[in-house]
Structure 1
C-alpha cells in the first residue's frame, strides 16, 4: 500500500517553522511522503542558518536523500528576517494553508501538518484570522473539535479560547453532544479504537459535589451523558478534574473531555510537552499541528526542538493510514 502523502505548512516564516521543516527533511520516512507549502528562499535561509543540506524538489518528485524536500512554492512578498514577523508576508502564509486544505479536500493529499502561525502578524496584514483550526473549519464547512495529545493522554476540549466568565454559559447540551460524538467518531476512524472510552470532566470543583458547588453537572452534563450512553457511547463521568488524570485512572480511558482550556491542557503539557500535538477533529481529513508557538526568540538560531513537529507528522501519517482514501471532488 502506498504511503500517505501529507501537506506540510511551516506557518510563520520568521518563526521556527521553516527550520523545523529543514530538520524534518534530514531523515528518511517510511510512514508518509511530505510536500512543503512554503517560500523556497525562507527554507534555504533556514538550512543555511542550521548548516544543514536542503535540496528543494518539484512537488511530484519523491525525496530520496537527506535534505530532499518536495515543495509547492508560496513566495513571500518580502525577504524574511528570522525573529521579525512581517505583515506583508501574511498573504503567503494564509494562501499556503488554504491551498493545502483544498488539496486535502480534493484527494491530492491524505492529511495536513501545520507549524505555528503568528496571529497578530496575520491580522496586521489585513487578514481576519482567529486561528488555523477556525480557518480550516470554515474552509471545509464543518464544526470541529480541538484535541491535544501526547504519548500519555488525549484531551479534547468542550470550549477553547474563551474567558472563564463565559465558559458556563457556553456549555450546553448541543455543544456537548457535538463534541462527544465528534471525539468518539475520531477515536474510531483516526485512531482505530473500536469501542472508545471517554472520560468526561465536570465543570466545577469535585464535579459539583452533588449540586453544592454548582449545578452544571446536574442540569446539563449528566443528562447529556445519560442520553449518549443510550446511543452506545462509553462515557465515564462527570469526574472531578483533580483526580481524573491519575495514571491508574488514565489507563482505562482513550480520551478525556475537559470543559475548558486550562482544565485539561496543563496536565497534558506537564506530562510530555515536547511530544504533544494539536489535532482538529471533524474535518474530512486529518490535520495535526505542533503544540507550541512561533518561538521568535529562537528562530534562526538552531535551538528549536523539532520533537513536536516530528510527532505531528507521525501522528498525521497514522491517522491518514487508518482512513479510507478520500473520493476526489
Structure 2
C-alpha cells in the first residue's frame, strides 16, 4: 500500500453490507488508498482475504490483495440481514475507537460504514439521532454540517431529518448563517478552495417570486446573504431551486446550500446515485461515509455496490492531504 497515515474504516452494523463492500473497496482500490477496517474478523464473509494488524501503521504494508483488519471483538456472530442488538455496543465502541485513533495521530481520517440507529438505541441505549451527532459529541463540537459530495456537485441541507412542515420554523437566520459559515470554512480547510463560491437556494418555489409564493426570501434570506457578502463571502442567491442544478448552473458554484433535505439530496442522487459521499464539516477530524444505508435486504449476497465507499475513502484521503495530516 502507498505511504501515509491510513484511513480508519469502521465496521458499521455487522448484519449489513459493510464488511462485503469494505472487501470490495480494497480489491478495487488496490494500493491507491491505505485504510484498515475495525471490526470482528469473524464477521467477515467466509473466504475473505484479510490480514490482522496490531497497529494502524501496519496497514500500509499488508500483503497485496488483503484487507488490513484491526480486530475488535463482538459478543455475537454476524447474520446477514438480521441485526442483533447484542452487538450494538460493539458498533458504538468501534466508532469511538476510530475517532480516538485519528485524534491520537495514528490514522488520517474516519470513514464510517452504515449503522442502524434503532438497533443501537434498543441494544445499547444510543442517545444520539445518528452518526453525525455522535461524532460531534466525540469531537467536542456543538454544531456540524452534513455535506453530500460527488465530482459534479456538492450540496448542504440547512435542515435535515425533520418533517417538511417543520422546515419554516426550524430554518432561522441564525441556523442558515451558521450553516454557511461552517460550509465555507470546511471547503477552505478540507478541499483547498481558497474562496468558495456558494449558491444558496430559496425556500419557496421560484425563490418566492417577489413575494407571490412566500416572503421568507424577501423578509430575511436575501438580507442575510447581503450582510454576509459585505463580510467577504461569495454568495449567489437566494436562487430558484428548480434552475440551479443543471450542468451550466453547477459550473458557477462550488457548493449549493439548500433549505431542506430533499431539496439537496434529490439533485445529487440524480446526478451520481452510486458515487455520492457523506462528509461531516465542522469536526476537528475528517469524517466521510458512503451515502447509503445498511441494505439488509441484499446483505450477504455479494451484490452490494462498493462505489460510494470507494469514493468516500478517496475523498477522506484527499481531505487529509488538504489538511496536511
Same fold? TM cut 0.5? yes
CA distance in 1, matches of 2:173, 2:102: 32
Structure 1 position 253 matched with structure 2 position 253 = yes
Instruction: Give, in angstroms, the shift of residue 231 of structure 1.
Output: 1.2
CA distance in 2, matches of 1:204, 1:107: 45
Using the TM superposition, name which of 75-84 and 119-128 deviates more: 119-128
CA deviations on 1:24-44 (whole Å, 9 max, x unpaired) are 23356555421221111102x
Query: Contact 1:4–1:321 at 8 Å: present in 2 too?
Result: no
Using the TM superposition, name which of 98-107 and 191-200 deviates more: 98-107
Query: Contact 1:9–1:38 at 8 Å: present in 2 too?
Result: yes
CA distance in 1, matches of 2:51, 2:65: 6
Which residue does 1:221 correspond to in 2? Answer: 221
Which residue does 1:134 correspond to in 2? Answer: 133
Structure 1 position 292 matched with structure 2 position 292 = yes
CA deviations on 1:127-182 (whole Å, 9 max, x unpaired) are 22311011001111221000001121000110110111111111111111111111
CA distance in 2, matches of 1:141, 1:166: 28
With structure 1 as the length reference, what TM-score do the two structures score? 0.93
With structure 2 as the length reference, what TM-score do the two structures score? 0.94
Residues 75-224 of structure 1 mapped to structure 2, 5 A cutoff: 75-128=73-126, 129-142=128-141, 143-224=143-224
CA distance in 2, matches of 1:153, 1:266: 12
Instruction: Give, in angstroms, the shift of residue 186 of structure 1.
Output: 1.2
Residues 276-315 of structure 1 mapped to structure 2, 5 A cutoff: 276-315=276-315
CA deviations on 1:70-91 (whole Å, 9 max, x unpaired) are 3322211111111100000000
Query: Contact 1:56–1:68 at 8 Å: present in 2 too?
Result: no
Structure 1 residues 189 and 29, CA gap change in structure 2 (3 angstroms): farther
Structure 1 position 53 matched with structure 2 position 49 = yes
Structure 1 residues 178 and 218, CA gap change in structure 2 (3 angstroms): same
CA distance in 1, matches of 2:43, 2:310: 20
Which residue does 1:38 correspond to in 2? Answer: 39
Gaps in structure 1 of 5+ consecutive residues: none
Structure 1 position 272 matched with structure 2 position 272 = yes
| Number of aligned residue pairs | 320
Query: Contact 1:57–1:69 at 8 Å: present in 2 too?
Result: no
CA distance in 2, matches of 1:194, 1:29: 32
Query: Contact 2:62–2:68 at 8 Å: present in 1 too?
Result: no
Which residue does 2:320 correspond to in 1? Answer: 320
CA distance in 2, matches of 1:201, 1:85: 39
- Specify the SS of the correspondent of 1:25: helix
CA distance in 1, matches of 2:231, 2:206: 27
CA distance in 1, matches of 2:295, 2:253: 33
Instruction: Give, in angstroms, the shift of residue 65 of structure 1.
Output: 2.8
Which residue does 1:14 correspond to in 2? Answer: 15
CA distance in 1, matches of 2:283, 2:31: 25
Query: Contact 2:53–2:71 at 8 Å: present in 1 too?
Result: no
- Specify the SS of the correspondent of 1:275: coil
CA deviations on 1:57-107 (whole Å, 9 max, x unpaired) are 333423443342333222111111111000000000000001111222232
